[in-house]
Amino acid sequence: MEEKMEKNPEIVGFACSFCTFKASEMAGSLRMKYPDGVKLIQVPCSSRVDPAFIIKAIFEGADGVFVAGCHPGDCHFIKGNYYTRRKIAALKEQLDAFGLKDKLRLFWVSAAEARRFVEKVTQMYNEIKEKKNAR
Protein backbone atom coordinates (compact mmCIF):
# COMPACT_ATOMS: atom_id res chain seq x y z
CA MET A 1 0.00 0.00 0.00
CA GLU A 2 1.28 3.37 -0.93
CA GLU A 3 1.27 5.85 1.90
CA LYS A 4 -0.89 8.86 1.27
CA MET A 5 0.59 12.33 1.43
CA GLU A 6 -0.47 14.05 4.59
CA LYS A 7 -2.59 17.14 3.99
CA ASN A 8 -1.96 20.19 6.11
CA PRO A 9 -4.89 22.46 6.85
CA GLU A 10 -4.88 26.21 6.40
CA ILE A 11 -6.39 28.17 9.24
CA VAL A 12 -7.19 31.86 9.18
CA GLY A 13 -7.58 33.58 12.51
CA PHE A 14 -9.00 37.00 13.26
CA ALA A 15 -7.20 38.29 16.32
CA CYS A 16 -8.23 41.24 18.45
CA SER A 17 -5.28 43.60 18.70
CA PHE A 18 -5.81 44.18 22.42
CA CYS A 19 -5.69 40.60 23.57
CA THR A 20 -5.21 37.66 21.23
CA PHE A 21 -2.78 39.42 18.92
CA LYS A 22 -0.73 40.47 21.95
CA ALA A 23 -0.91 36.92 23.30
CA SER A 24 0.34 35.61 19.97
CA GLU A 25 3.23 38.07 20.09
CA MET A 26 4.05 36.84 23.54
CA ALA A 27 3.81 33.23 22.41
CA GLY A 28 6.42 34.07 19.79
CA SER A 29 8.67 35.81 22.30
CA LEU A 30 8.46 32.79 24.55
CA ARG A 31 9.42 30.56 21.58
CA MET A 32 6.28 28.47 21.94
CA LYS A 33 5.60 26.33 18.87
CA TYR A 34 2.37 26.04 16.94
CA PRO A 35 1.61 24.82 13.41
CA ASP A 36 2.57 27.08 10.52
CA GLY A 37 -0.86 26.58 8.97
CA VAL A 38 -2.26 29.06 11.49
CA LYS A 39 -2.11 32.61 10.14
CA LEU A 40 -3.51 35.69 11.78
CA ILE A 41 -5.23 38.82 10.59
CA GLN A 42 -5.15 41.65 13.08
CA VAL A 43 -8.41 43.47 13.78
CA PRO A 44 -8.93 46.30 16.26
CA CYS A 45 -11.66 44.39 18.07
CA SER A 46 -13.23 40.99 17.48
CA SER A 47 -16.47 42.86 16.75
CA ARG A 48 -14.85 44.27 13.60
CA VAL A 49 -15.10 40.79 12.08
CA ASP A 50 -17.89 40.87 9.56
CA PRO A 51 -19.48 37.44 9.04
CA ALA A 52 -18.75 38.10 5.36
CA PHE A 53 -15.01 37.79 6.10
CA ILE A 54 -15.51 34.36 7.59
CA ILE A 55 -17.65 33.19 4.69
CA LYS A 56 -15.13 34.58 2.25
CA ALA A 57 -12.27 32.75 3.96
CA ILE A 58 -14.18 29.46 3.90
CA PHE A 59 -15.12 29.93 0.23
CA GLU A 60 -11.54 30.68 -0.69
CA GLY A 61 -10.38 27.42 0.80
CA ALA A 62 -9.64 27.90 4.47
CA ASP A 63 -10.00 24.63 6.36
CA GLY A 64 -10.78 26.52 9.49
CA VAL A 65 -11.50 30.05 10.62
CA PHE A 66 -11.34 31.32 14.15
CA VAL A 67 -12.26 34.58 15.75
CA ALA A 68 -10.48 35.33 19.00
CA GLY A 69 -11.18 38.18 21.35
CA CYS A 70 -10.99 39.27 24.95
CA HIS A 71 -12.74 37.32 27.68
CA PRO A 72 -16.35 38.38 28.26
CA GLY A 73 -16.31 41.52 30.37
CA ASP A 74 -12.75 42.45 29.44
CA CYS A 75 -13.40 44.10 26.08
CA HIS A 76 -11.38 47.26 25.58
CA PHE A 77 -14.41 48.66 23.79
CA ILE A 78 -16.64 47.62 26.71
CA LYS A 79 -18.92 45.10 25.00
CA GLY A 80 -17.64 44.47 21.49
CA ASN A 81 -17.00 40.83 22.27
CA TYR A 82 -20.62 40.29 23.33
CA TYR A 83 -21.67 41.35 19.84
CA THR A 84 -19.06 38.97 18.44
CA ARG A 85 -20.43 36.11 20.51
CA ARG A 86 -23.94 36.64 19.22
CA LYS A 87 -22.80 37.16 15.65
CA ILE A 88 -20.73 33.97 15.63
CA ALA A 89 -23.54 31.96 17.22
CA ALA A 90 -25.93 33.14 14.51
CA LEU A 91 -23.43 32.45 11.76
CA LYS A 92 -22.73 28.99 13.10
CA GLU A 93 -26.39 28.12 12.75
CA GLN A 94 -26.31 29.25 9.13
CA LEU A 95 -23.13 27.30 8.43
CA ASP A 96 -24.65 24.22 10.01
CA ALA A 97 -27.11 24.02 7.14
CA PHE A 98 -24.17 23.54 4.78
CA GLY A 99 -22.26 21.19 7.05
CA LEU A 100 -19.59 23.79 7.59
CA LYS A 101 -20.22 24.46 11.25
CA ASP A 102 -17.03 22.77 12.43
CA LYS A 103 -14.87 25.10 10.40
CA LEU A 104 -15.67 28.09 12.56
CA ARG A 105 -14.54 28.60 16.11
CA LEU A 106 -14.66 31.40 18.62
CA PHE A 107 -12.44 31.62 21.64
CA TRP A 108 -11.35 34.08 24.26
CA VAL A 109 -7.67 34.66 24.92
CA SER A 110 -6.41 37.50 27.09
CA ALA A 111 -3.17 39.34 26.35
CA ALA A 112 -1.46 37.40 29.11
CA GLU A 113 -2.56 33.96 27.93
CA ALA A 114 0.11 33.02 25.41
CA ARG A 115 -0.07 29.39 26.45
CA ARG A 116 -3.83 29.30 26.08
CA PHE A 117 -3.52 30.81 22.60
CA VAL A 118 -1.07 28.12 21.55
CA GLU A 119 -3.18 25.35 23.10
CA LYS A 120 -6.36 26.59 21.43
CA VAL A 121 -4.92 26.98 17.93
CA THR A 122 -2.97 23.72 18.10
CA GLN A 123 -6.03 21.82 19.26
CA MET A 124 -8.12 23.33 16.48
CA TYR A 125 -5.41 22.57 13.92
CA ASN A 126 -5.03 18.97 15.01
CA GLU A 127 -8.76 18.27 15.01
CA ILE A 128 -9.22 19.76 11.58
CA LYS A 129 -6.15 17.97 10.28
CA GLU A 130 -7.47 14.63 11.48
CA LYS A 131 -10.77 15.17 9.70
CA LYS A 132 -9.08 16.36 6.54
CA ASN A 133 -6.85 13.30 6.36
CA ALA A 134 -9.63 10.85 7.26
CA ARG A 135 -11.33 11.37 3.93
Q: Strands 38-43 and 104-108: what pairing?
A: unpaired
Q: Judged by CB, which is closer to another protein: 61, or 99?
A: 61
**Burial label, 98 (beta-carbon count in 10 A; 0-12, 13-18, 19+):** exposed
109 lies in the binding site for another protein (CB under 8 A): no
| DSSP sequence for 4-64 | PPPPPP-EEEEEETTTHHHHHHHHHHTT----TTEEEEEESSGGG--HHHHHHHHHTT-SE
CB of 65 within 8 A of CB of 54? yes
Q: Judged by CB, which is closer to another protein: 2, or 10?
A: 10
Interface of this chain with another protein, residues 77 to 96, rule: CB under 8 A: 77-80, 83, 87
Instruction: Quote the least distance from Cβ 33 to another protein, whole Å.
Output: 6
Window 30-69: contact mask with another protein (x via CB under 8 A): -xxxxxx--xxxxxxx-xxxxxxx--xx--xxx-------
Which residues bind to another protein, rule: CB under 8 A? 10, 12, 18-19, 22, 24-25, 27-29, 31-36, 39-45, 47-53, 56-57, 60-62, 70, 73-74, 76-80, 83, 87, 110-113
